[in-house]
Amino acid sequence: MLEKKLICTACGSTFSLRENLARCQKCREPLEIEEFISKNIDTEERSDIFKRYKSFFPFQSSCSGLSLGEGMTPLLSAPSFAEKYGVKEIFLKNETVNPTWSFKDRGTAASIHHAIELGFRRIGTVSTGNMAASVAAFGARAGLETTILVKGDIPSEKLNPVAIYNARLIKALGDYDRLYEESLRLGERYGIYFMNSDVPFRVEGSKTIAFEICEQTEFNVPDFVIIPTSAGGNIRGIEKGFREFYKSGLIPHIPTIVAAQAEGCAPIARAYEKNSLTIERFPNPHTVAHAIENPFPPSGNQVLRMLHRQRGVAVAVSEESIYESQLELAGMGLFVQPASAVSLAALKKLRQTGSISSEQRAACILTGSGLKYTAVFDAYNLNAEECLIDDLEKLLAVK
Ligand SMILES: *Cc1c(COP(=O)(O)O)cnc(C)c1O
Ligand SMILES: [Zn+2]
């Protein structure tokens, strides 16, 4: 692994992969691992994504025994949606079937692999949701000392699904952005590998979403890939995955990358509209799409640079359209989080504005499971009919 370098996404400075760095030591912008160019996919390997795509990772050992079965998720075609919205094809990448029910498992597994190769015995993260559960679960699997830092005011509905994995859980009172930076600083000092939302190996893990989409479409990739975006780690990984396959000559073009946000917290979409390459803190964030409610995304600037370079798009959708899309997806059998429904809402909006034509194909990334956030049930009129058993026949008798 050691010949690949970490490159600063802003100033181009390079650093060694032997160090566990999350930020450029000169300009504090995110780092990215040098591109991997290869035509080598181990198509016989059907369960371990890090073995299947081995030539696209810098790992030296195979580190088996760390996997919980992350990745290799289905890409479903949704002809009913394609017909309804007048596009050629709509794909749904179902990340809800990951071991802790979100795509975060891919980046967690990649980061733990790196941590172990560097000799770390202590890992951690800062999160209030899916990433916390993911790191707690994979830390338990790997037998590492795992510390999860959460906001002081986290509701028990969110805390308990993390606590169940028996990691060390610390509620830290104070400013969340500061907690993020403090964790990286203390991690460096005390040898704790903090795998926060946009660390380089989390981005590497997310690459595999793109790799799988390429393979699942027989390398005839969709025109658009729509990604609910918060910190920016996942969208960076997906773009890097397509870029690596493109440069390797495996796909004819890179799909248009779409950063999808909620209007209630849209720092990236707002900067994009203003043609700015710098994120500003989004004031008073509020959206039902909690998993993407980051008002000051750590990879925000890099996402803007990437969208600019790749002619990507950023779009923000209304709360109403998020709820509507969540119900629509459930109506075809997929119960996703509100944050994940943002991808379908964005597709509809881009179709309405003509950005996606009737001849084009789009993939929505369904980032996480709806069961993670059951409070949303209150927003819907979900009810059941009721009757005495004796009256059941009357209800069912209609032919
Ligand atoms: C983390 C998360 C996102 C956002 O990913 P980023 O890498 O932070 O941009 C989107 N949806 C779900 C369900 C998530 O857990
Ligand atoms: Zn730099």
Q: Find the CATH number of the domain harbouring 83.
A: 3.40.50.1100
Q: Nearest-CA neighbor of 298 among 198, 228, 205, 175?
A: 198
In a domain, 91, yes or no: yes
Q: Which of 344, 328, 101 is nearest to 226 (CA)?
A: 344
Measured from the alpha carbon of residue 32, the closest ligand is 2
Q: Which residues, in sequence order, are bridge partners of residue 15?
A: 6
Range of the domain at 313: 75-99+201-374
- Whether 9 is in a domain gets the answer no
Locate 200 and state its tokens. Answer: 């380089």
Q: What is the pLDDT of residue 2?
A: 55
Range in 23-32, 54-63, 293-302 with the lowest mean pLDDT: 54-63
Is 244 in contact with 207 (CB distance < 8 Å)? yes
Q: Is 151 exposed, middle or buried (0-12, 13-18, 19+ CB in 10 A)?
A: middle
In a domain, 343, yes or no: yes
Average pLDDT of the segment spanning 260-287: 97
pLDDT at 358 over 70: yes
Distance CA 192, CA 135 (A): 13
**Helices vs. strands in the chain: H and E counts, helices first:** 13, 13
pTM for this predicted structure: 0.97
State in Å: Cα 26 to ligand 2 middle.
Answer: 5
The atom number, within ligand 1, closest to the CA of 95 reads 13
Q: Please answer whether residues 8 and 31 qualify as being in contact, where contact means their C-beta atoms are separated by less than 8 angstroms.
A: yes
What does pLDDT average to over the chain? 95
Number of domains in the chain: 1
How remote is the CA of residue 63 from the centroid of ligand 1, in Å?
26
Least confident of 87-91, 156-160, 315-319: 156-160
Residue 390 lies in a domain: no
Question: In this structure, is residue 387 part of a structural domain?
Answer: no
Q: How far is CA 367 from CA 85, 226, 270, 337, in A?
A: 21, 11, 22, 8
Structural domain contains residue 328: yes
In angstroms, what is the span from residue 265 Cα to ligand 2's centroid? Answer: 27
**Would you call 247 exposed, middle or buried from its count of C-beta atoms within 10 A (0-12, 13-18, 19+)?**
middle
Using the atom order of ligand 1, give the atom closest to the CA of residue 299: 9
Q: How far is the CA of 388 from the centre of ligand 1 (A)?
A: 45
Q: Judge whether 347 lies within some domain.
A: yes
Contact 362, 225 (CB under 8 A): yes
Q: How confident is the model over 101-114, as a mean pLDDT?
A: 97
For 188-197, 213-222, 254-263, which range has the lowest pLDDT when averaged over its residues? 188-197
| Both structure tokens of 251 | 């796909």
- What residue type is assigned to position 163 of the chain? A
Q: What percent of the chain has pLDDT over 70?
A: 99
The answer to whether residue 1 scores a pLDDT higher than 60 is: no
Say what the pLDDT of residue 175 is.
83
Residue 178: band (very low, low, confident or very high) from pLDDT cuts 50, 70, 90: confident
Structure tokens at 74: 């289905």
Nearest-atom index, ligand 1, CA of 229: 9
Average pLDDT of 360-373? Answer: 96
Residues contacting ligand 1 via CB (< 6 Å)? 102, 104, 129-130, 197, 228-235, 291-292, 337, 339-340, 367-368
> What pLDDT, on the 0 to 100 scale, is given for residue 157?
79
Q: Are 265 and 287 in contact (CB under 8 A)?
A: yes
Answer yes or no: is 307 within a domain. Answer: yes
Lowest mean pLDDT, pick from 12-16, 54-58, 61-65, 91-95: 61-65
Which residue in this structure is represented by tokens 């679960």? 137
Ligand located closest to 13 CA: 2
Q: Could you give the 3-state DSSP secondary structure of residue 89? A: strand
Give the DSSP per-residue string, 257-305.
EEEEEETTB-HHHHHHHTT-SS--PPSS---S-GGG--SS-TTHHHHHH
**Ligand 1 centroid distance, CA of 229 (Å):** 6
Using the mean position of ligand 2's atoms as its centre, give its distance from the Cα of residue 23 in Å.
8
Mean pLDDT confidence for 30-43: 97
User: Which residues make up the environment of ion ligand 2, defined by Cβ < 5 Å?
Assistant: 8, 10-11, 13, 24, 26-27, 29
- Residue owning the nearest CA to atom 1 of ligand 1: 291
State the Cα–Cα distance between residues 174 and 182, nearest whole angstrom.
11
Reference 95, options 134, 128, 124, 57; nearest CA is 134
Specify the amino acid at residue 365: I
Residue 315: which pLDDT band, with cuts at 50, 70 and 90?
very high
Residue range 343-370: mean pLDDT, rounded: 98
Shortest-distance Cα residue to atom 2 of ligand 1: 291
Distance from Cα 367 to the centre of ligand 1, integer Å: 7
Ligand 1 atom closest to Cα of 227?
Answer: 10
